[in-house]
Amino acid sequence: MLVDYLVEDNKNVTAKEYMGIFGNPIKHTLSPVIHDTLSEAFGIDAKYVPYQIPVEKLDAAVKEAYTNGMLGLNITVPFKQQVMESLVDIDPAARAIGAVNTLVRGAGGFVGYNTDMPGLARAIASEGLKLQNSKVILLGAGGAARAVAYMCLKYGANKVYIINRTFENAKKLADDMNACFMCEKMIPVSAADYKMIPKDSYFMLQCTSIGLHENDGLPLIDDVSFYEMASAGVDLIYNPAKTPFLCLLKKLGIPCMNGLKMLLYQGIMAYELWTGKEVSDTLSEKVYRNLCKKIYGDKIVLIGYMGVGKTTIGKHISEEYGYKFIDTDALIEQNFNMKISDIFEKYGEMRFREMETELLRTLTTKNENYVISTGGGLPLREENQKLLKTLGKVYYLQADADTIYSRVKGDKSRPLLDCEDPYNKICSMLAIRDPKYRSVADECIDVTQNTPAEIASKIIQNN
């Protein structure tokens, strides 16, 4: 019976409808975070549960799930090929890729789809990156690389070099995809021959499992000049958040992302197939944040004008609830061993804003609980607004100009107030910033009514 394969913690779960995932092992799957967040948001009384299926029981389990009325299923390692035997139909893209990760109810049984492929395409688009007309280098030729190779051709890549440790696997993948798209765009390359790839600008997709383990180095090619050819990069690995491949690209200033958004969107697209719902960008962001929280730890972000208590409240949260405290201004001063006013003077405001953005990016990859107090101007930059939202729940600590003035007047450490009429300056800056803070915030908290300890406790309860 299917229920015998339910992962332990789920035995008492009750709901009107069920979705699930079959794999082996499956205990550490993150998929319930995606689907349960979506069901909650849509008000659907459904739960998503993982089943650890013995290899020889897969066919019977798929059929039992259909008979039981299971709304939809995901299929993961090691069953993505094997499950194709148990379906009434298979979507042509999934058939060409040779792997199914999503089962949708059809007449008389489940129909198989592959949402890894469009999921990655949606993840890439969500980062503003483009595959169309690009030249691609694909590292790896395993199961995931097949979906990625298919995606490259479907979304308009001009040429794709597939580099792999085992040349025969790269060749097989290239031959299959060239045949499927009736083209000659895929070129297999053995890792030892990487220098035969012409010097050019390439979208690099890292699909090997190198980078999963602590002591792993660069994938397949240990030559920095090779990676300098990247115009953008994706590593399918998301845990750890930063692999050696991503660290190098970042160091070279090349836009890059890990595989967590691929995981996110393959799940979202499966959910859309099962329920007919359309998941908005805002809801996708919420799910993404929950995923980040689960893997990389919880982050509380405090924004607002000077004098509203971001540091005091942040420190309360840190001391009382065990979060690490970061003040972005203080950290930048510490990292660069310079006062912010000196950074402004020596490098200009633009450079300082870039430092803030770099710091936010680094924080998104930290696997711990943080409370982050941000500089007053940080949330005004568009790029930072997106990063803040993915980082964690954003709280706008809000106060009126009179309260702020009474708190900061006479404070000589604030260069912005070093002017003839500081009160008027506060009023005019606040008028500009307040709507921007509100648009970034998940929640606005009036800090004039409660003590810092009360506000800290309220934030923890809401988070």
Residues that bind ligand NDP (CB under 6 A): 116, 140-145, 164-166, 169, 207-210, 212, 220, 236-238, 259, 262-263, 266
Q: How far is the CB of 202 from ligand NDP (least distance, A)?
A: 18
Give the tokens for residue 334. 């510490």
In whole angstroms, the minimum distance from the beta carbon of 364 to ligand NDP comes to 16
Closest to ligand NDP by CB, 212 vs 431, is 212
Q: Six-digit token pair at 8?
A: 């332990």
What tokens appear for 104 in the block? 């949708």
Strand partners, 397: 445
Residue identified by tokens 């030892």 is 192
Q: What is the DSSP letter of 57?
A: G
User: What 3-state DSSP class applies to 357?
Assistant: helix
Q: Is the peptide bond before 78 cis (omega within 30 degrees of 0)?
A: yes
Residue number, 124 or 141, with CB nearest to ligand NDP: 141
Measured CA to CA, the distance from residue 1 to residue 69 in angstroms comes to 14
Residue 230, judged by CB atoms within 10 A of its CB (0-12, 13-18, 19+), counts as: buried
Shortest Cβ 98–ligand NDP spacing (Å): 11
Q: Which is nearer to ligand NDP, 209 or 385 (CB)?
A: 209
Query: Using alpha carbons only, what angle is made at residue 333 by residues 329 and 339, rounded to the nearest 5 degrees?
Result: 100
Tokens of 128: 């503003």
**Closest CB to ligand NDP among 148 and 417?**
148
Closest distance of CB 267 from ligand NDP, Å: 9
Read off the tokens for 213: 């383990």
Q: What span, in angstroms and rounded, lies between the C-alpha atoms of 52 and 396?
A: 43
**Among the options 16, 27, 63, 80, which is catalytic?**
80
Angle between helices 328-336 and 340-347 (to 10 degrees): 60
Min dist CB 191 to ligand NDP, Å, is 7
Q: Which residue is nearest to ligand NDP (CB)?
A: 142
User: Is 80 an annotated catalytic residue?
Assistant: yes
Q: Is 145 helix (H, G, I), strand (E, B) or coil?
A: helix
For ligand NDP, give the closer residue by CB, 142 or 255: 142
Tell me the closest approach of the beta carbon of residue 36 to ligand NDP, in angstroms. 18
Of 120 and 303, CB closest to ligand NDP = 120
- Do 50 and 78 touch, CB atoms closer than 8 A? no
Which residues are within 8 A (CB) of 142 and not within 5 positions of it... i.e. 6 or more apart?
Answer: 169, 207, 208, 209
Nearer to ligand NDP, 96 or 141 (CB): 141
Q: Indicate the residue among 234 and 430 with the shorter CB distance to ligand NDP.
A: 234
Say which DSSP state 77 is in: T
Q: How many Cβ atoms from other residues are within 10 Å of residue 168's Cβ? A: 11
Rounded CA separation 99/80 (Å): 5
Bridge partners of 301?
372, 394
**CA pair distance 123, 257, nearest whole angstrom:** 9
CB of 182 to ligand NDP, least distance (A): 25
Q: Which residues contact 367 (CB under 8 A, 6 or more apart)?
A: 241, 295, 296, 297
Question: Of the two residues 126 and 311, which places its CB atom closer to ligand NDP in the complex?
Answer: 126
SS3 content of the chain, % helix, strand, coil (to 5): 50, 20, 30
Q: Which residues are catalytically annotated?
A: 80
